[in-house]
Structure 1
Amino acid sequence: MLFGKLLPREGNFFALFNAHAEAIVAGSRAFQSLIQNYGDAILREKYAAEVDGAEHAADKITAEVNRLLHKTFITPIDREQIHSLINAMDDILDLLQDTSETLALYDVRHVTEEVNRLADLSVKCCERVAHAVSLLSQLSKHAVAEATVKTCAEIDSLESDADRVMRSAMSKLFREEADIRELIKLKAIYEQLESITDKCEDVANLIEGIVLENS
């Protein structure tokens, strides 16, 4: 019994999940602002730096979660679930940063309405991810578990919306864009933006699994 009391317990995993989710939301909103102000080079650089800052902050949180996993004997949820969840969350911000960098590296001169719509859907997905994550510490309550599953379903719906926007954008691009270089650039941006919502859906699927096992 004494041995059990001396073992490191719990850790601060839920607080770290929440902090990471806040970085995801901050990064997605900064990316949205980058797109909305794309014609202003100074603002574009400012918001790109904010995306980078959010990604770096999230990397530190991910490292802290993995460090805690190595020193905590008893965790609030399954160890593999913790590891999978924090890394899936980190993938979201990595993609936001990658897309921001691709816009600069490919020297994209203008963004389309479809890019704006996909950026908006990315923000909404990230916000719902943060909400779902915020509920994880209270899954023992039936109403909270139900609310978490509902939020995950909303993320799935937003991801489907992004799929439809991306397919329509691709069709329009190949029908109307005469400049092959612009076509290649925008195709890459569309695919990356749609992948952000895919990653949000991955997180939602992991959270649904946690709900099933812990509620």
Structure 2
Amino acid sequence: MWFSKLLPREGNFFELFNQHAAYIAEGGHAFLAMIQNYGDPALREKYGGEVDVAERAADKVTAEVQRLLHRTFITPIDGEQIRALINAMDDVIDLLQDTTEVLSLYNVQRIGDDVLRLCEISVRCCDRVQHVTSLLATLRRPEVAAAALKTCEEIDRLESDADRVMRASMSHLFRDEIDTRELIKLKAIYEHLETISDRCQDVANIIEGIILENS
């Protein structure tokens, strides 16, 4: 008993989750600004760089969570849930950076409304991830748990919206695009953007599990 009292307890996990979620939202909005200003090479590079900065900062938070897990004896929620959540969150910001890099590597020169629509849905998902993450520290309050579950449901609906937009976009692409190279490029971009919302849904699913196990 006396030994356990000497071991680190709790840790600062909720604050780290909040920091990481803020970088997700920051990276998402920078990505959206890049898409909205895609015709301007200077702005495209500027906002693309901001996505990269947010991703590197989020990586540091992920590494700190992993280190803290090894040092903390008693965690506020199950250690495996902490690990799964931070890894799922990291997947979101990684995909934002990956999509930015794919646009550059594929030398995509034009962005249509379908790409912009998918990007807008992805960023809304990122914002919802930031919101639900901010509720983690007070989930034991019934009204907070209910609000968190509602936000998770919003993420699920947004992911379904992204699925529908991608299917429609793919249909238009294969029906109307006559340049095979452009078709291949845009298909990859659509798939990356839709996967961002998938990864946000993964975060929501993990948080739903945390709520159900701790309510």
Give the whole-Å Cα distance in 2 for the aligned partners of 1:139 and 1:35: 36
Determine the C-alpha separation between the residues in 2 that align with 1:181 and 1:55. Answer: 29
TM-superposed deviation, 1:4: 2.2
Q: Which amino acid aligns with 1:184?
A: I
Aligned to 2:101: 101
Partner deviation per Cα, 1:93-137 (whole Å, 9 max, x = no partner)? 000000000000000000110100011001100000111111011
Q: Which residue of 1 aligns with 2:173?
A: 173
One-letter amino acid of the counterpart of residue 142, structure 1:
P
- What number of residue pairs does the alignment pair up? 215
Cα deviation, 1:160-192, whole Å, max 9, x if unaligned, reads 000000000000000000000000000000000
Structure 2 portions without partners, runs of 5+: none
Compute the TM-score of the two structures, normalised by the length of structure 2: 0.99
Query: How far apart are the structure 2 equivalents of 1:114 and 1:89?
Result: 25
Alignment of 1:134-149 (within 5 A): 134-149=134-149
Query: Matches of 2:27 and 2:146 in 1, distance apart?
Result: 28
CA distance in 2, matches of 1:178, 1:103: 20
Matches of 2:152 and 2:37, distance apart in 1: 30
- Structure 2 counterpart of 1:192: 192
In the alignment, which residue of structure 1 is the partner of 2:155? Answer: 155
- Structure 2: how far apart are the matches of 1:65 and 1:184? 38
**SS of alignment partner, residue 168 of structure 1:** helix
Shift of 1:18: 0.1
Q: What residue number does 1:87 align with?
A: 87
Distance 2:47 2:213 in 1: 39
Q: TM-score, length-normalised on structure 1? A: 0.99
Q: Structure 2 CA distance, aligned partners of 1:70 and 1:94?
A: 24
Letter paired with 1:9:
R
Cα RMSD over matched residues? 0.5
Distance in 1 of aligned mates of 2:60 and 2:80: 19
What amino acid is aligned across from residue 141 of structure 1 in structure 2?
R
Q: Which runs of 4+ in 1 moved over 4 A?
A: none
Unaligned stretches of 5+ in structure 1?
A: none
Sequence identity (%): 67
Partner amino acid, structure 2, of 1:213: E
Other-structure match for 1:18: 18
